[in-house]
A and B are shown apart, each in its own frame.
Chain A
Amino acid sequence: MLYLNLILIGISIGGVYALLGLGLVLIYRSSGVLNFAQTSMAMISTYVFWEVSRRAPFLTVWGALGAAVLFGAALGAGLYRTIFARLRNSPPLARLIASVGVAFILPALARVIWSGQSERGVRLPAPFGTKVLRLGFAAIQSEQLALAVVSVVVGIGLHQWMRRSVAGMALRAVAQNRQAAQMLGVPEAKISAIAWGIGGGLAALAGALYLPLQYLDPNQMATMLPAAFAAALLGGLVNIPMALAGGLALGAMESVFRGMHGVFPRLAPTIAALGIVAFLLARIDRFFVSPAELKAIEGEGAGR
C-alpha cells in the first residue's frame, strides 16, 4: 500500500518532469536547441504567477495561472527570436552554450527583481488546492493529482496536435528536413517560435502547478533538469508519448527510492542522471524513433 501511494505521488512529480520534457522535445525538434534554460523559464514564470495572483486578486488563481502560461510562452518565443533564431546556422554547441547562458541569467534576474522574497522563498496559492484526497488505497493532495492528470492530458493533446494540425505537421516537417520544409514554403522561423512558445508555456504550467507544493525561490526547479532531459531522451528527443511516459515513470521510480531504506533514498536524485547516461550509451532512441525521424536527429548531430 505504501508503495502504491509512493508511486502515485511520484507520478505527480513525474508530471512535472513530463511537462518540462515535452517542452524540451518541442524546442529541440523545431530549432535543434538542447534547452538548458527550461527549468529557469519555469521558475521565472512562477514568479509571474505569484505576482499576478497577489497584485490582481480579481483574476483569481486561474487568471494568474493563465498569465503565467502566457508569460512563459512569450518568454520562450522571445528567447527564440532574440537569441536562438540568430544562432540558427551556428554549430549545435554554440546553441547549447547559449541556452546554458540563459539558464544562468534567468535566476540571476529573479534574484535582482525579487531580492527579499528570494531569500526566504515564497509560499504560493495552489490552483487545485492542497486538500488530501483518499482514493481507497492511497492518499494524495488535490494539487498533486492535478499535476499528474494535467501532464497526461497536455501530453496527449500535444501529440494529437503534432499529428493533425497544420502547424504541428509543419513542425514535424521542419524537424525532419529543414531545407525541404523551407522549399515547400514552411515558415521555419515562425514554426520554431511557436514551438518555443509552447515549450515556455509548458514550463510555466509545470512551475505554477508544482511549486505551490514547495516554495518559490530562484534556485527552484533547477534540480529537475536532469529528470526532464532523461524524459526527453527516452523519447529520443522527438517522441512525445515516450517523453510523457518517461517523465511519469521516472517520478514514480524516484518516489519509491525515497521511501525505501538503506542507500536508496540517497540514490533517488541520481536516477535521472544515470538514466541520461544509460539512454545515451544504449542509444535507446533507435528503438522508439522512426527511421526518418532518427535520420533527422543525426542530421542535427552533423552540425547544421
Chain B
Amino acid sequence: MRIPENGLSGEQVFERLRDLRRKDAETRGGRAWGLVYDSGLEEAREVAERAYVEFLGLNALDPTAFPSVLRLENEVVAMAIAHLGGGAGVVGNFTSGGTESCFLAVKTARDHARATRPEVARPEVILPITAHPAFHKACHYLGLTAVPTAVDPETFKADAGAVARAVSPSTIMIVGSAVSYAHGVLDPIAEMAAVARERGLWLHVDGCIGGFLLPYYRRLGRAVGDFDFTVEGVSSMSMDLHKYAYAPKGASVVLYRSKALRKYQLYACASWPGYPILNTTVQSTKPGGPIAAAWATLNFIGDEGYLRLARLTLEATERLIAGISGIPRLRVLGRTDTSLIAFASEDVNVFYIADEMKRRGWLIPPQPSFGPSPASLHLIVTASSLPQVDAFLADLRTCVEAAAGRGLRIDPALRDTLAALDPSSLTDEMLSRVVGAAGVEWDALEDSMADVNSILDSLPPQVREALLIAGGNELFTPAK
C-alpha cells in the first residue's frame, strides 16, 4: 500500500473510516466493560471534543510559544494535587496516560537513587503481584529488577509484611496500588508507607484507575483507607484523567512530594547543534489537544458533577456485586474498594462465558489465572453502567448456563507442545510455528477468544509473554 497518488475527497476519507469502525467495540452506552470510560454525559463529551480540536495543533514542547498549554497543564495538575490531599510543595506533570506516569515515577526514583545512593549496583523495585504491568515494563526498560511480593489470597491486597521482608540493600522503591486493576482493591498504603519511611525508600502510590474515584467514594460514606499525599512517606502518585475523570484518551498526571524529587524526572539536552530541549515527560512534542480536553472536562463536569457520577458508579457496582453473587457458580473475587469487579467460577470456563456475552453485545475482558487469583472476568463499572445492570445480569445468568460444560476444543497435541515450551530457548521460528499451528486467524479471533485464552491460561506467565510477543509481531504486519 502506498500513499494514494491523488488525495481522496473528504467524503471518501470518512466513508473509509466509518467502514473500518464497523467491527469496533462500542465506546458509549455502557455495554463495554473495559477499555472505554463513558460518563454518559453527552454534553461533557461535546465540550471535550471541541476543546481537543481547538488545541489540536498546539505543541506543549515550547511553553514560551504556547503559554496557554503551560497554563492548562499547571491548572490540571493543581486540581489533581488538591484532589489527592497534596499540600504546598507537591508538583507534577501531565502525561499521555497511566503507563507514562508510572514509567516516569520509576525513572525518577531510579535517578534519585543514583544520585543519593550510588552504591546500589542492581537497584530493585518491590512490586506486589497485583501492581500494574506498567511498573514491570518500566523496570524492563530502565534496567531495574522487579521483586514481586505476595498479596492476601482472599482480599488480594498487598501484604505489607511481605513488602517489608522483601526489602534488601538494593531496594530503591516500593509500589502500592490505589486501587489494583485486577480486583479493584486498595493496598494498605499507610502500612507500606511506614516500611518506606523506616527504610528510607521511595513509595509510589499508583492511583491511575482508582485515585480519582476514591475521594468521592469517601464523601459518599464509604470507608476508604488513607492512600494519598496525606500519608507521610508517599513520594509520588499517578492518576489517570482519561478514566474516571472521563477526559478523552491521552490524559494522566504524575505527582511528586516536592520539586527536589521531581527534578530527577526532567531531561535537558543542549549537546547538539539544534535548539536546546527540555522535556518534562517522555514525549518531546506534546500535543495540546489532550491537555485542553482534560482541562475542559474537569471544568465542565465540576466537583458536584463528579460526585453525582461517582454515586451512579457506586450504585451500579453494588447492584452488580449483589447480582453476580446471586448467580449460581459465580463468585466475586475480593471486595472491590472502587468500581472494578473480578468474578470467577469454580466449574465453568469463564473464557466461554465472555465469548457467549460477546455474542449478546457485551464486551467483558477476561483475566487469566495468576498466583492466588483464578481465571476471571473483569468489569470496569462507570457512571453509564447503571441503566445496563439488569439486562447485563439477565444475560450473564443465561451465558453461564450456556458456557457450562464447555471446554477447550483445541488439538491436544498442540497443547502438549505449548506446555513443553521452554521460555529460555524459544526461538522466533519456533514461536511462529506454534502460532501457525494454533490455526490462529485474527479475523476468527474477533468472534471467539475462548480457546486462545484457555491455552494461554494453562501456560506459565513467561511462555504466555513469549507467545503474546510472537502474536503481536504477526498482528502488526504492514497492510497489503
In the assembled complex, how far is the CB of residue B45 from the closest CB belonging to chain A, in whole angstroms? Answer: 39
Q: Is A116 an interface residue (CB 8 A)?
A: yes
A268 to B168, CA, bound (A): 40
Q: Is B148 an interface residue (CB 8 A)?
A: yes
Q: A116-B129, A121-B461 are in contact. Are A269 and B122 (CB under 8 A)?
A: no
Indicate with 1 or 0, residue by residue over A54-70, a CB within 8 angstroms of chain B CB atoms.
11110000000000000
In the assembled complex, how far is the CB of residue B457 from the closest CB belonging to chain A, in whole angstroms? Answer: 14
A8 to B216, CA, bound (A): 62
What are 8 A-B pairs with beta-carbon distances under 8 A? A56-B169, A57-B121, A57-B169, A116-B128, A120-B371, A122-B148, A266-B413, A266-B417
Do residues A213 and B413 form an inter-chain contact, with CB atoms below 8 A?
Answer: no
In the assembled complex, how far is the CB of residue A191 from the closest CB belonging to chain B, in whole angstroms? Answer: 37
A213 to B121, CA, bound (A): 20
Do residues A125 and B122 form an inter-chain contact, with CB atoms below 8 A?
Answer: yes
In the assembled complex, how far is the CB of residue B470 from the closest CB belonging to chain A, in whole angstroms? Answer: 15
Which one, B128, B420, B423, B427, contacts A214 given CB within 8 A? B423
Do residues B168 and A55 form an inter-chain contact, with CB atoms below 8 A?
Answer: yes
Q: A116-B128, A120-B461, A215-B462 are in contact. Are A55 and B420 (CB under 8 A)?
A: no
Q: Is B231 an interface residue (CB 8 A)?
A: no
Contacts of A57 in B (CB 8 A): 120-122, 168-170
Which one, B372, B424, B430, B461, contacts A213 given CB within 8 A? B424
Q: Is B238 an interface residue (CB 8 A)?
A: no
A262 to B351, CA, bound (A): 31
In the assembled complex, how far is the CB of residue A177 from the closest CB belonging to chain B, in whole angstroms? Answer: 43
Q: Is A123 an interface residue (CB 8 A)?
A: yes
Q: Is B68 an interface residue (CB 8 A)?
A: no
In the assembled complex, how far is the CB of residue B401 from the closest CB belonging to chain A, in whole angstroms? Answer: 32
Which one, B120, B149, B169, contacts A117 given CB within 8 A? B149
Contacts of A53 in B (CB 8 A): 122
Q: A265-B417, A265-B430, A266-B417 are in contact. Are A119 and B148 (CB under 8 A)?
A: yes
A56 to B168, CA, bound (A): 8
Q: A57-B169, A214-B424, A265-B430 are in contact. Are A119 and B370 (CB under 8 A)?
A: yes
In the assembled complex, how far is the CB of residue A2 from the closest CB belonging to chain B, in whole angstroms? Answer: 10
Q: Find the B residue at minimum CB distance from A266.
A: B417
CB within 8 Å of A: which of B399-436?
413, 416-417, 420, 422-425, 427, 430
Do residues A266 and B416 form an inter-chain contact, with CB atoms below 8 A?
Answer: yes
CB within 8 Å of A: which of B418-463?
420, 422-425, 427, 430, 460-462
In the assembled complex, how far is the CB of residue B42 from the closest CB belonging to chain A, in whole angstroms? Answer: 43
Q: Is A115 an interface residue (CB 8 A)?
A: yes
A257 to B123, CA, bound (A): 39
Which one, A117, A125, A214, A269, contacts B148 given CB within 8 A? A117
Contacts of A214 in B (CB 8 A): 422-424
Q: A54-B170, A57-B170, A125-B122 are in contact. Are A117 and B147 (CB under 8 A)?
A: yes
Indicate with 1 or 0, residue by residue over A257-277, a CB within 8 angstroms of chain B CB atoms.
011000001101100000000
Contacts of B298 in A (CB 8 A): none
Q: A116-B129, A121-B462, A269-B420 are in contact. Are A54 and B148 (CB under 8 A)?
A: no
Closest 10 CB pairs of A and B: A116-B150, A119-B371, A116-B149, A115-B150, A120-B148, A54-B168, A214-B424, A55-B168, A116-B148, A269-B420
Which one, A54, A258, A266, contacts B124 given CB within 8 A? A54
Q: Is B78 an interface residue (CB 8 A)?
A: no
CB within 8 Å of B: which of A246-299?
255, 258-259, 265-266, 268-269
Indicate with 1 or 0, residue by residue over B366-404, a CB within 8 angstroms of chain A CB atoms.
000011100000000000000000000000000000000
Assuming A54-B147, A116-B129, what are 7 further A-B pairs, CB within 8 angstroms?
A: A54-B122, A55-B168, A116-B166, A119-B150, A120-B146, A122-B148, A268-B420
Q: Find the B residue at minimum CB distance from A270.
A: B420
Do residues B122 and A258 form an inter-chain contact, with CB atoms below 8 A?
Answer: no
Contacts of B147 in A (CB 8 A): 54, 117, 122
A295 to B251, CA, bound (A): 77
CB within 8 Å of B: which of A210-245?
213-215, 217, 219
Q: Find the B residue at minimum CB distance from A212.
A: B424
A122 to B166, CA, bound (A): 12
Q: Is B279 an interface residue (CB 8 A)?
A: no
Q: A54-B122, A119-B370 are in contact. Are A258 and B168 (CB under 8 A)?
A: no
Indicate with 1 or 0, residue by residue over B109-148, a CB within 8 angstroms of chain A CB atoms.
0000000000011101000110000000000000001111
Do residues B162 and A116 form an inter-chain contact, with CB atoms below 8 A?
Answer: yes
A116 to B166, CA, bound (A): 9
A265 to B430, CA, bound (A): 9
